[in-house]
Amino acid sequence: MTVSRRDLLKALAASAALRVCGASWPMTALSAQEQAGRLWVNKHLNLSQPVWRYYDASNHGADVVARHARWRGGVAHLRSILNDAQAAGRRVRAVGAGWSLSPCAISPDVMINTMPLNCHTVGVAPDDLSTSRFDPSCIVFAQCGTGVRELSETLEARGLSLPTSGASNGQTICGAISTGTHGSARRVGSMQDFMLGLHVLAEDGRQYWIERESAPVVSAAFCQRLGATLVRDDLVFRAAVVGLGSFGIIHAVMFEAAPGFLLEVHRRRLDWPQVAHAAATLELDGLGLPYRDVEPFHLDIAVNPYSPKRGEGGAIVTAMYKRLLGPVPPRAVSDTAMVPGVDLLAMSGKFAGLMPGTIKRGVNSMFVSMMKATERPPLGTHGQVFPTTPLIGHSLSTEIGVDLGDAGQALGTLIDVANRYPFPGLFGVRYVQRSDALLAFTKFEMTCTIEMTGAGGDRTKKFYNRAWAALDRAGIPYTQHWGKINNTTAANLRTRWGSSVDQWIAARRSLLSPAGRRLFSNDLLSACELHG
């Protein structure tokens, strides 16, 4: 590759011309898409959407609000956006940190960035509650854009903790619950399972406080202060809490924080045949964990599908045990570190597509170095153990939920597919107890979730299609995580969620008018025929 003399002269001439133009030239104008509307891109760079109107929601609205009630400004701003969108006949989607890999939070019409809405308070007045079942000092009221990391920091400073979270902390609280984000604390459930109430902004300026009839939380006075109509209905709550952004804009949530605790982290590299039985049954005797008679609070297994034999070290088992809150040894913090490159995943994906023969070797060598790369403190708070991931870039991920009884067959099927059609990625196996949210993908009594995460690219997408087809052929019932890549449509929705689908639709109809249902729908909802 060479540069012609003409190109060189052009560059010099352009440079000289721009010098003459003065200081305005160094900054190139925004792209046309941003001028015309906005091109929204998600965190994992697998989705982009031109948007007619994109708003950064703000607590600093026109209303003058007291410092302790800044959230009122956010409510006013959201209602004004909703009014404008409804008047213009546009559909609206709230988006948090853009963590989802599925088009859950996407709309070509109006998208609202809720990240700036991060007011959260720990502790409510006793008269805010209608029950003495909860300790008011542990009740958290958090605006939708509050990040999981922010909540962990605030709670841990008060000796409290989130009961569970996903493996990393970048999501906003409402983004996390709306898609059914989970960890692997198998007796705790998913993030939506510790929610107590939702403050929802709907069409025509309506506001609702939604909570379970079977577990009422707030008082009438609280709803009055909020300006919301109290809706006490188990089905509506169970539908709206994993509502895919379709029950209105969830402005805030309420939940009970757990007493603070530490996690003692143990990680072992084992051969897959040693782990397979435990992975399929949760009988952990063969894993050689440190406390044989104590059930780990958290258990997850990373599986390298390309090292399935004895002697290949194809599984990393992580077990965490809950410990009383106490002093945590300070961790060394460096102001500069070498981390995986931003383009690493995209380049790996490209390379895998061009040279599929190298995938197994590449994944094997990465898996060998993984133990060191993911070393975590042996003892830490929840927020320290599930930290911010430094890995960014073009990645893909899909996740299925199967009944624990089907986990062995599902894992065997998926390992087989990966060995016949390798993709540049790994499996993550976790365990979550049943969620009562109607469309939660953790719907089985003990759901084994199998995440297949890989470098971005067509190879990985094609692998996902083959994996889903193989599970279908094998007749293994499974669900899919709403926030990850999935092929859930109207054709398979009822096979996966059964009668819960119609309950979800009925609950949405009972809350929203036809205009509201249109306002809070998007293409994903239409594809699943959940919009009507």
Q: Residue 349 CB, nearest distance to another protein (Å)?
A: 10
Considering the complex, state which of residue 26 and residue 329 has its C-beta at the smaller distance from another protein: 26
Q: At 354, give phi and psi (nearest 5°).
A: -80, -35
- The backbone region for 422, taken as left when phi is positive above 0, alpha when psi lies in -120 to 50, beta otherwise, is beta
Rg (CA), the chain: 24
Residues 116, 112, 452, 433: what is their CA dihedral angle, to the nearest 10 degrees?
Answer: 70
Contact 366, 316 (CB under 8 A): no
User: Which strand (E) or helix (H) includes residue 453?
Assistant: strand 446-455
Q: Residue 117 CB, nearest distance to another protein (Å)?
A: 7
Q: Residue 520 CB, nearest distance to another protein (Å)?
A: 21
Contacts of 414 (CB under 8 A, 6+ apart): 305, 427, 450, 452, 467, 470, 471
Q: Residue 316 CB, nearest distance to another protein (Å)?
A: 26
Rounded CA gap, 177 and 509, in Å? Answer: 21
Considering the complex, state which of residue 136 and residue 477 has its C-beta at the smaller distance from another protein: 136
Considering the complex, state which of residue 331 and residue 372 has its C-beta at the smaller distance from another protein: 331
Report which DSSP code applies to 427: E
Rounded CA gap, 56 and 369, in Å? Answer: 41
Q: Residue 25 CB, nearest distance to another protein (Å)?
A: 8
Q: Residue 208 CB, nearest distance to another protein (Å)?
A: 22
Considering the complex, state which of residue 25 and residue 291 has its C-beta at the smaller distance from another protein: 25
For another protein, the binding residues (CB under 8 A) are 3, 7-8, 11-12, 14-15, 18-19, 23, 25-28, 40-41, 56, 59-60, 67-71, 74, 97-98, 113, 115-121, 143, 145, 147, 149-150, 153-154, 333, 339, 341-343, 346-347, 350-351, 354-355
Considering the complex, state which of residue 15 and residue 465 has its C-beta at the smaller distance from another protein: 15
Compute how many other C-beta atoms are within 10 angstroms of the C-beta atom of residue 215. 14
Considering the complex, state which of residue 175 and residue 401 has its C-beta at the smaller distance from another protein: 175
425-433: strand order across its sheet: 379-381, 261-270, 315-324, 298-303, 425-433, 446-455, 395-403, 479-480
CA angle in degrees (0–180, nearest 5) for 320-301-299:
25
Considering the complex, state which of residue 327 and residue 357 has its C-beta at the smaller distance from another protein: 357
Considering the complex, state which of residue 103 and residue 116 has its C-beta at the smaller distance from another protein: 116
Q: Residue 71 CB, nearest distance to another protein (Å)?
A: 7
Q: Helices in 355-420 by DSSP H: which ranges?
A: 359-373, 382-385, 407-420
Report which DSSP code applies to 191: G
Considering the complex, state which of residue 348 and residue 479 has its C-beta at the smaller distance from another protein: 348
Q: Residue 196 CB, nearest distance to another protein (Å)?
A: 20
Q: Residue 267 CB, nearest distance to another protein (Å)?
A: 23
